[in-house]
Every structure is written in structure tokens, then in C-alpha cells.
Structure 1
Amino acid sequence: MSVYNLWDKDAKEPVLKTSLSSEWNFKSPVATPRSSSPPSRGGESIFNKYLDLVSSKSNISTEAKQTEPMDRPFDFFDDEEFAFGINLLNNNVACVGHNITKLIQMAQEPWPDNVKLYQPYEVEQILLPDNASCLAVQAFLKMCNLPFEVEMRWNAEFMSPSGRVPFIKCGAFVVSELEPIVQFAANKGVTLCSRLSTEEKAEMRAYMSLITNVLVNAELYISWLDNDTFNAVTKVRNSSVYPWPLGWLQTRSKRNNVAKRLKALHWHDKTLEQVLADVEQCCNSLSQRLGDKDYFFSSSPTELDALVFGHVFTIITTRLPCRKLAETVRRHETLVSLAKRIDERYFKRP
């Protein structure tokens, strides 16, 4: 029986989520265009060398050619081959420029109806930090009224261009994690913060950074460094989709990577009490900013609300051996009410 459950409005105990998907048949994810730099500048530089070479060749006499070989960056057997090389390079530069222009146009096209959001299996595989991130992205897309379909794959993190989940496949584009997806939607003219002032946008980003630096690290700490949670939940769920001993090796490798990340952020040597104190302070800041409003900024949600929902909802509805993290978040009733309000409005769970 899964230890991951979701909130039920009619019962105090969580209700198990039971969605599964078929095996992954998309062998290689499409590389996201935003991760590659335009190669046209390099092509233009080489093409300019060709033009300079043509100009210099016309000014050199036959005697000079016979006595001193011309120093040119590309050596060709005769003039005909030289002209062919220029035409070929010219066509390649034009092709690259055309493809970049086409990608930019595609990025600005309206949101299609066949967008898919990829994430790990909810029932038997997904872990606390990944579940929070996936819920945050789903909430954002629902707030924007952007259609999408959830696809669960055992190797979703390896399909992702950043190695993290979730990610969306939108036409020729593959975009992972909340902030890049928010920017991708903004390029298509869809945004939740257009009404905010410059100061409010900066404040919103500051709070989102606070969540990433505190709640995400706390979730990683509880999942991977707390021995009770690691042995009873993390190790079992993370290795459930791999054959032995691959599951054991992959879990060990991932735990080492998480430990390195937390060491770099000075979280590895913290005690559980220190982690919970940081979470308490983060929740206090968020609660004070939210106050008695429905959302953090006026009467409509932003990506900050989606991010807070993803983490708060996941923490309070996930059963773990270490319940102190959930108990710490539950003490902040305004955040819990926000999570329940977004869940009822946008997810409409029965």
C-alpha cells in the first residue's frame, strides 16, 4: 500500500491516489531549443572568411601565385571547387538562420491542445520533493487554463532535459521545471502576473526563492538523510521500478548526489530541529505575506500561489515516518487553507 495519499474533504484521513500509465515508448526526448545557442554567428564568421578570400584572390597576379602560395584558411583544388564551397556555406548559413527564425515563430504560437506533462508514477515511485514540484506545475497550468495531459513514466527524470521533473512536451519544445515553464508560457502570451507592478514581481520572485531554498531542501533532507524515512519510504519507492541490483545502485548514487547538494548549501550537517526551525521561519514569512487574503497578490493566483500549493499540499497529505515536517506546516492555518482552496477550485477532486 502506498504511503503517498491525497487530501479528502469528507474525511480526516487522506485517500489514496490510484492513477497509473503505460510504459514509455518515446525513446529520446526532444532537446529543448532554449538550451542550444544559435550557430549562425559562427557560420557567418566562416562565410566572411570566404568573401575575404574571394576578394584577395582577384587582386593577386598569376606570377605571385606561382612564386608564393596564397595563405588562405581553406584550400581548394581549383576555382570551380572553391565556388562550390562558397555556395554550399552560403546555403548552410541561410538554412540555420531559417531554422532559428522558425523556432522563434513556433515558440510564439498559441498553446496547442496536445501538450503532455511527464512525471514519475504517483502510486509506487514518486518522492516527496518531486511530487511537490509536479503539483506546482500542474496547478500553474490549470490556473492559466492551459490544456495538458499527465503522462507517468518510470524514467521521467532521465527523459527531462534538466534531469528534474516534471517536464512538458509542447510541439517541438521540451521544457522542465516551474520557472522555465512559466517563461515558456509567457512567450506565448500567457501569464499570471501581468497586473503586478515591478516591485510586486520582485517580491514574488523573492518568496519563490525562499521556498526553493528552504522547503525544497527540507523535503530533500527528510526524504534522503532522515534514516527512518529513507529506509521505510525513499529506498523502497525509488528502487521499485528497477531490477535488483540496479535499484540498489541507483538509489545509492542518488542519495550521494543529494548529500553533495545539501553539503554545498550547508544543509547536510544540520540537525532535524534546525531544519524544522528553518521551515517554521519560512512558513511564518509566507503566512504574514498572505494574511487573510485568498491569494498572495490580490484576488487572483500567481505562480507563487501555485508553488506554495504544490509544497504545502504535498507535505500535509503525505504519510511519512517522520511527521514533524507536516506538523510544522499544519500549524500555519492560512497556508493550509490556501492549499485546500486551490485544490478544490482547480483540481476538483471527488
Structure 2
Amino acid sequence: MAAPMELFCWAGGWGLPSVDPDCLAVLTYARFTGAPLKVHRVTSPWRSPSGHLPALRTRDEGIISKPQQIITHLRKQKYNADYDLSATQSADTLAFVSLLEEKLLPVLIHTFWVDAKNYVEHTRKWYAETIPFPLNFFLPNAMHKRHLERLQLIWGDDYMEDEEKLEKELYREARECLTLLSQRLGSQKFFFGDSPASLDALVFSRLAPLLKAKLPNGKLQQHLKSLQNLCNYCTSILSLYFPWDGGEPLTGVPRAAGTDGSEAEEDPHKRRKQLLSVLVGLVAMLGYAFLSGIVSIQRGSVGPAGRQPVTLEEEEEEEEE
């Protein structure tokens, strides 16, 4: 029997199997199609073979890191959620994907990563508590910077000229996008009837984090919660396709092999990789501290007090299904 494809994605939280929308889209599409994936839920992109999440390790094409390319690869392997769609439905899929990327995604990035209250009290807090020490000191800030640059690239030069006015307009368009999705879904189980398609995986991956996160500033979240059919849609997909891994946060105790019908992978180099991650992270953190002036070296006598040993703890464990 051929070895299964391996998917590396961000760990779960907020009642979701993964907190990252791109990872959630790939996970959901795989569940829709029954693709045989060995899933590694990790708490640092350094645990990924590509250094990015999500990442799919395949036997024939190596490592694939972009979500759409991962889904395309699954289709090539005969796991196609859009196989039965008509030409009109395929055209509708392209139109709604474009709408989501243009009108909704930028506002979701702003909601989680740019809005100061949400970022400090929710997003950064979760990642800082989940990412292992010492990476949690600088990875959340690096992710924040990357998302800010991505948002500025999407919004263009207008973002810097009148940020408040632009945000107001874009949040209005995002609310209209949610309303349009609600009207298109209606009372159906999925967007094209009783069977899920790739559009459902994308919509769910965008809406579920917004619905489940406990955001202190939930302007867009409140509008989503007022659209009951979209809320029921997200809840239904979670219960149907993720009934046993609803995103409980990882603990310091690894699960026993086979506790959820899966195999636990024994990586002989795992401990070495962990130590290397800690050492590289520690060097990067110390380098940042010296460059920023937080720490400086001064010549002088050393006091009699003995130094306390520094201990490193790693509470993150891989979860696989």
C-alpha cells in the first residue's frame, strides 16, 4: 500500500480543527473528498518541511505549499469535490471565489491581525501561548508584519492616505459580501445542493474562524452572527466532517497511538529538530535584543550572586490523524 500524503497545518483552537484559514480550507476540502491524508497539526511553521503552513508532502511531486496548488494536486489524484458541477455552477464558483478574495479576505486580515485590540488580546495572545518557547517571542510579531504588508499590497497606496475612511468602506463591502453569501445559500445544505464543493471549503474556511473566535472588537463578527443560515452552515460542516477533532488546544501530554483511529508517527530525528529549533530561535531572539538595544554588554566586576540556570520548556506536541 502506498504511503499516504502528509499534510502539515496549524494546530486547532477556538473549536476549530485549525485556526489558520488556508490550512482550514485544505483540511475541509480533503474531508469533503475523502482524500487519504496523514495530518500533522503543528504549532510552528518550522515543523513544516517547507517552512510554511499548510504544506503537503507527496511521493511524486515533493512538497507543495500553496493552498490552491494542494487542492489542484488532490484533484489530480481523483479527489475532486467539483466533479459533478455544471458549467454554470463552475462559473459561479469562480465568481464567488473572486468575491471572497477581493471583498472579504482583506477585512478578515484586518480584523485578526491589524485591529489593535483584536490582535493584542486575541490573535497574538493565542499564537504566543501556542508557539513553543523561544519562538513565541518573535514569530507572532513576524506574522503580524507579514499580514500587514499583505494587506497594504492588496489595498494599495490608498491605505496610507486615509486609513479610517478606507476601512469604513471596506468593512461595508465585507458586510455586503456576507449578506450576498447568505442569500445565495438560502435554505440549502451547501451552496450547490446536498453535496459539498470546493466553494464550500473556501467559504467555511473564511467564515468559521470569524464565527468561533472570541474577538473583543467584533464589528464584522456581529453581522455574521445575524445571518443565521451561515452560522448553521458552519456548525453543520463542523459536526459532519470534524466531529472528533473540533480544535481543542494542544496540551503537554501526547496522545496515545490510535486514540482517534490514527497512527502516531515516530520520527527518529524529532528531538534533534526540536533542539535545533530552540537554538536557532534563541540566537535570533538574542540577536534582536542586542540590535534593538534591549540588551547591552558592559565591562565590570561580577557580583557574588550565582547565576540561575535557564531552562527551556516545549509544551507543543504534534497531533496527527
Question: What's the TM-score, normalizing by structure 1?
Answer: 0.59
Looking at structure 1, the residues matched to 95 and 108 of structure 2 have their Cα atoms a distance apart, in angstroms, of 19
Cα 1:211–1:335 change in 2 (3 A) is same
Taking the TM superposition and a 5 Å limit, the aligned residue runs for 1:43-82 are none
Residue 263 in structure 1 maps to residue 152 in structure 2: yes
- Structure 2 match to 1:304: 199
Does the residue aligned with 2:39 lie in a helix, a strand or coil?
Answer: strand
Distance 1:239 1:333 in 2: 33
Residue 236 (structure 2) aligns with: 341
CA distance in structure 1 between the partners assigned to 2:239 and 2:133 by the alignment: 39
In the TM superposition, residue 132 of structure 1 has moved relative to its aligned partner by: 2.4
2: CA distance, partners of 1:292 / 1:121: 32
- Higher RCO (Cα < 8 Å, 6 or more apart): 2
For 2:140 and 2:241, the matched residues in 1 are separated by: 34
Q: Could you give the per-residue CA deviations for residues 45-102 of structure 1, whole angstroms, max 9, x where no partner exists?
A: xxxxxxxxxxxxxxxxxxxxxxxxxxxxxxxxxxxxxxxxxxxxxxxxxxxxxxxxxx
Aligned residue identity for 1:237: W
Q: Relative to 1, partners in 2 of residues 1:221 and 1:153: Cα closer, same or farther, differing over 3 Å? A: same
TM-score, scaled relative to structure 2: 0.64
Q: Secondary structure at the match of 1:292?
A: coil
How many angstroms apart in 2 are the aligned matches of 1:114 and 1:334? 36
Distance 1:231-1:302 versus aligned 2 partners, 3 A rule: same
CA distance in 1, matches of 2:183, 2:66: 27
Q: Structure 1 residues 290, 123: closer, same or farther in 2, change over 3 A?
A: closer
In 1, Cα distance between equivalents of 2:106 and 2:49: 21
**Contact between 2:11 and 2:43, CA under 8 Å: does it hold in 1?**
yes
Paired position in structure 1 for 2:56: 168
Does 2:116 correspond to 1:227?
A: yes
Question: 1:121 maps to which residue?
Answer: 11
> C-alpha separation between the residues in 2 aligned to 1:192 and 1:151?
23
**Partner SS for 1:330:** helix
CA shift in 2, pair 1:202/1:122, >3 Å:
same
Contact 2:175 2:220 in 1 (8 A): no
- For 1:206 and 1:165, the matched residues in 2 are separated by 26
Amino acid at match of 1:165: L
Gaps of 5+ in 2: 247-321
Max radius of gyration: which structure? 1
**Contact kept? 2:93, 2:199, Cα under 8 Å:** yes
Task: Give the aligned partner of residue 319 of structure 2.
Answer: none
What is the Cα deviation at residue 157 of structure 1?
6.5
CA shift, 1:316, in A, is 0.9
What amino acid does structure 2 have at the position aligned with 1:311? R
Give the Cα separation in 2 of the matches to 1:280 and 1:258: 21
Match of 1:277 in 2: 172
Could you tell me whether the CA contact under 8 Å between 2:7 and 2:56 is conserved in 1?
A: yes
Aligned with 1:199 (options 80, 84, 88): 88
Taking only aligned residues, the RMSD between alpha carbons, in angstroms, comes to 3.0
Q: In the TM superposition, what is the alpha-carbon distance from 1:243 to its structure 2 partner?
A: 4.5
Which consecutive unaligned segments of at least 5 residues does structure 1 have?
A: 1-109
The verdict on how the C-alpha distance between 1:211 and 1:253 changes in structure 2, with shifts beyond 3 A counting, is same
Given that residues 6 and 37 in structure 2 are in contact (C-alpha distance below 8 angstroms), is that contact kept between their aligned partners in structure 1?
Answer: yes
List aligned pairs for 1:1-350, cutoff 5 A.
112=2, 114-123=4-13, 131-156=20-45, 159=48, 161=50, 164-172=52-60, 173-240=62-129, 241=131, 243=133, 247-266=136-155, 268=159, 269-270=163-164, 272-349=167-244
Aligned residues, how many? 236
Distance 1:261 1:142 in 2: 29
Question: Match of 2:122, SS?
Answer: helix
SS at 1:117 equivalent = strand
Contact 1:214 1:278 in 2 (8 A): yes
SS where residue 265 of structure 1 aligns? helix
Which residue type is aligned with residue 334 of structure 1?
A: N
Residue identity opposite 1:115 in structure 2: M
Distance 1:298 1:157, change over 3 A: farther
Other structure's SS at 2:20 match: helix
Counterpart AA for 2:116: N
Q: Indicate if the aligned counterparts of 1:118 and 1:165 stay in contact, CA closer than 8 A.
A: yes
